[in-house]
Amino acid sequence: MNNSTGCGWDIVTVGDIADVQGGIQKQPIRRPVKNRYPFLRVGNVGRGNLHLQEIHEVELFDGELAKLRLQSGDLLVVEGNGSPDEVGRAAMWRNKIENCVYQNHLIRVRPRGRIVPEFLEFLWNSEATVSQLRQIATTTSGLHTLSASKIRAIKLAIPSLDQQRNIVAVLNSMQLLRTQRRKAISLLNDLANSIFLDMFGDPATNPYDWPTRNLGSLAIVFSDGPYGSNLKSSHYVESGIRVVRLQNIGVGTFVDNDRAFITPEHFSLLKKHTCLPDDILVATLGDPNIRACIQPQSIPVALNKADCVQIRVNPELASATFLCALLNQSSIKAMAQPLMLGQTRIRISMGRLRTLEVPVPPRDLQRQFSARIEALSTLSVPHHLHVAELDALFASVRYRAFRGELWDTSAA
C-alpha cells in the first residue's frame, strides 16, 4: 500500500493523528441549574469560523467537564445537515470562552503532535476533504450525517510540520485580507441597520406607534418551497433553473457561492413556486432563524426549496427593501419565538410566519429608506467584487498548497 503522495507527503487517517469524540445530548435533565456551563451548538460552527454571539448553557455532572471541555486547537465538526455541502463543516476552537463544552451533533477532533491545528482546519475545509465527507455522509430522511468512526477513517495527505506551518502562514495572510474586506461590508450593513432604527424604531417596541399588520396581509405571494419527493438532491443538474436553498439566504445578502439547479422540464411541474427578482426570501430554519434577503436581478427566475419562504410584497402596502430589513432586525426573532416549534431543529412554518404582526410605516417613509439603502448598496459593490476576487484567489492557492505545489522542492 502506498502511504505517501507524489510530492512525498504522508497519507494518514484522522484516527492516526487525532482523538475523535462526540458531545452532550441535550435532555431535560440538562437544564442549567447548579453546574451550568457554556454549550456550543451546530449553529455556532461555520466553515472555518465560529459564531459566538449566542451561547446556550447546559448542566454538567461529576467528571463531565474534564472529559468534554474544549481545548485550544480542537476542531469542531458538524455531524449532520440537510445539505451534503454543509455536512462536516468545521472550525477550530481558540479558547474564546472558558470551560466550554459542545453538543452531540458536533464531533470534536483533537490533533496530536503530528499535525498543526490551523493546518488541519484549512485542510478539513478544502475541496478534497469536503468531497470525502460528501461521499461518506449517510442520508437519513434527507439529513446527511457523519459519525465519529467515519471521521476517524477520513484520509488526509500531510507534509512535515515545517511545511504545514509555512502553508498556514500563507493562507492566514490571505485570510486576513478577506476578513478586512468583509469588515468593511459589515460596517456598511451596520450603518443600514442604524438608518432603519432611526427612521422606524425597534419593531418590538414600535416607539412611533405605526399601525401593525400580519406579514401575510402585506404580500401578493407568500409561499414555501416544495417538500418531499417533489424536489430532492437527485433532481439537481449542472445548469438550468436556480434552486434557492437555506445556505443561499444570508442576513440581507443573497449568498451566491453554493449553487444548485434543476432542469426546465422539472421546473415546469413546480411553477407555483416560481421566485422572481425583488422577491423576499426568508430562511425559517438555521441560524439565525429568521433571516431574509432579496432575490437579485442576476437571477431572473428561481425555485425556492422547503423552509425557504418567498414573499412577493404588495407594492401598495410596503417595499421589499423595508420589509427585508425589518425581518433582519434582531428583535424580530424574539417576537417570532412563540411561533417556532421543534427541539433540535427549531423552525417556524410558513403558516405561522404569515401571522407575525409587524409595524407598517407610511409608504413615503419606506421609499425614503429604500433610496438611502440603494445609495449604500452602490458603495458596497466594489467591496463585494473585491471579496469575490479574494475568495477565488484563496481557493486557488489553497488547492495548490494541499497538492504540494506552492514551492518548488525539486532542488532540495
Same structural domain, 274 and 338: yes
> DSSP characters for 208-234?
T---EEEGGGGEEEEEPPP-GGGS-GG
Nearest-5° angle of CA 336, CA 353, CA 323?
85
Q: For residue 183, is it within any domain? A: yes
Same structural domain, 244 and 154: no
Same structural domain, 266 and 220: yes
For position 341, what pLDDT does the model report? 83
- 154-189: per-residue pLDDT in tens? 999 999 999 999 999 999 999 999 999 989 988 988
For position 56, what pLDDT does the model report? 92
How many distinct structural domains can be found in the chain? 3
Yes or no: say if 326 and 358 are a contact pair by the CB < 8 Å rule: yes
Res. 3 pLDDT band, cuts 50 70 90: low
CATH code of 412's domain: 1.10.287
Yes or no: say if 211 and 359 are a contact pair by the CB < 8 Å rule: yes
* Per-residue DSSP letter, 339: G
Task: Compute how many other C-beta atoms are within 10 angstroms of the C-beta atom of residue 20.
Answer: 20
Q: For residue 240, is it within any domain? A: yes
Task: Compute how many other C-beta atoms are within 10 angstroms of the C-beta atom of residue 171.
Answer: 22
Domain boundary among 341, 360, 379: 360
Same structural domain, 259 and 397: no
Q: What is the mean pLDDT of residues 60-67?
A: 93
Task: Collapse the DSSP code of 280 into the 3-class scheme (helix H, G, I; strand E, B; otherwise coil) and give the result.
Answer: strand
For position 410, what pLDDT does the model report? 47
Domain boundary among 158, 175, 197: 158
Same structural domain, 133 and 19: yes
Q: For residue 389, is it within any domain? A: yes
Same structural domain, 330 and 264: yes
Q: For residue 327, is it within any domain? A: yes
| pLDDT of residue 219 exceeding 90 | yes
Same structural domain, 96 and 200: no
Same structural domain, 95 and 125: yes
| pLDDT of residue 408 exceeding 60 | no
Task: Collapse the DSSP code of 37 into the 3-class scheme (helix H, G, I; strand E, B; otherwise coil) and give the result.
Answer: strand
Write the burial class of residue 135 (CB in 10 Å: 0-12 exposed, 13-18 middle, 19+ buried). Answer: exposed
Is pLDDT larger for residue 401 or for residue 408? 401
Is pLDDT larger for residue 86 or for residue 372? 372
For position 412, what pLDDT does the model report? 40
Yes or no: say if 289 and 283 are a contact pair by the CB < 8 Å rule: yes
Q: What is the mean pLDDT of residues 301-326?
A: 96
For position 1, what pLDDT does the model report? 42
| 227-261 burial: b if 16+ Cβ within 10 Å, else e | eeeebeeebbeeebbbbbbbbbbebbbbeeeeebb
Segment among 255-259, 376-380, 398-402 with least mean pLDDT? 255-259
Q: What is the mean pLDDT of residues 295-315?
A: 95
For position 388, what pLDDT does the model report? 87
CATH code of 295's domain: 3.90.220.20
Q: For residue 2, is it within any domain? A: no
Q: What is the mean pLDDT of residues 139-153?
A: 83
Task: Compute how many other C-beta atoms are within 10 angstroms of the C-beta atom of residue 205.
Answer: 9
Same structural domain, 154 and 18: yes
For position 383, what pLDDT does the model report? 87
Task: Compute how many other C-beta atoms are within 10 angstroms of the C-beta atom of residue 45.
Answer: 23
Cβ-Cβ contacts under 8 Å for 323 (sequence gap 6 or more):
218, 280, 292, 311, 313, 358
For position 380, what pLDDT does the model report? 84
Same structural domain, 226 and 183: no
For position 32, what pLDDT does the model report? 92
CATH code of 36's domain: 3.90.220.10
Percent of the chain with pLDDT over 90: 71
Crossing angle of helices 161-200/117-124, nearest 10°? 70
Range of the domain at 188: 159-210+361-412
Q: For residue 178, is it within any domain? A: yes
Handedness of CA 105, 38, 334, 254 (dihedral sign): negative
Same structural domain, 172 and 258: no
Yes or no: say if 174 and 327 are a contact pair by the CB < 8 Å rule: no
Is pLDDT larger for residue 111 or for residue 288? 111
Write the burial class of residue 127 (CB in 10 Å: 0-12 exposed, 13-18 middle, 19+ buried). Answer: exposed
For position 86, what pLDDT does the model report? 79
User: What is the chain's mean pLDDT, rounded?
Assistant: 91
Is pLDDT larger for residue 258 or for residue 206? 206
For position 142, what pLDDT does the model report? 61
Task: Collapse the DSSP code of 315 into the 3-class scheme (helix H, G, I; strand E, B; otherwise coil) and give the result.
Answer: coil
- 76-90: per-residue pLDDT in tens? 999 987 667 778 999
Nearest-5° angle of CA 175, CA 100, CA 330?
65
- 5-21: per-residue pLDDT in tens? 667 899 999 999 999 99
Domain boundary among 116, 143, 158: 158
- 37-53: per-residue pLDDT in tens? 999 999 899 999 998 98
Q: What is the mean pLDDT of residues 351-373?
A: 96
Same structural domain, 31 and 104: yes
